[in-house]
Amino acid sequence: MSHPTQPAAIVTGGAGHIGQAIAAGLAADGFAVAVADLDLVRAQAVADRLAADGRRAIAVAVDVCSYASAQCLAATVLEAFGAIDVLVNNAGGSARLVGGGYGPFHEAEERVIAAMIDINLKGPLFVTRAVAPYMVARRQGRIVQVGSICGVQGTENVADYSAAKGGVIAFTKALAKELGAHGILVNCVSPGLVPRPGEELERARQSNYLGRACTAEDVAELVRFLAGEKSGFITGHNHVIDGGRSLAMKTA
């Protein structure tokens, strides 16, 4: 096992749009970062970019839907960095990841429902279960889940995704109660619509009260705060970052 020389963080889904921004932000804050993703090639590219900027980073292949894979991730990071100080459960996605579409739940395919629960809810449960014992043993750590406002409000035509993200928020609250006595803070960040590069922005701009789209960097900044020392008395909360979208329906 490597002797820890700096704090270490895991970012699941680290090769994705939001995950890359979170990984870069934590690296800039002095964390050694494990970019964990199902796509090892893309994860390695992210880790290489961080290393080129003088940051310490590794790429780790993980299938968050597999508990054995989650255990392997924890062991690999512990061996590489000597500690796990922050876990960001960012891996997740909508039905389009598995070739499904949006639509009424009563028309949803069984495989799509199962996939949405697996990656968006079972994934954070498995990775947290694999990592938390190391944090408990050291009596310190931060766990940040990435939820969604769909889990707060429920969104039509993505009922399975909404259910999974709502579960993540409840998991956050329960886990914060369990782990607080061990010096571990647990929080959730729930973004609104975050367009990917090349996606049309108008719907995102019109969906909130600030008149612009939420960016991956917006989300990353909140995660960085919750992972940092200045958030030391904040735990068990779902922090919505949506430009006011969830406040109420916009009127003309």
Catalytic residue IDs: 161
Pairing of strands 32-37, 141-146: unpaired
- What the block records as the tokens of 236 is 């068990």
Give the closest residue to 231 by CA, choosing from 178, 171, 189, 191.
189
Write the DSSP string, 120-163: IIIHHHHHHHHHHHHHHHHT-EEEEEE--THHHH--TT-HHHHH
Cβ atoms of residues 220 and 20 within 8 Å: no
Sign of CA dihedral 115, 126, 7, 191: positive
Tokens, residue 156: 């039509």
* 3 state DSSP class of 13: coil
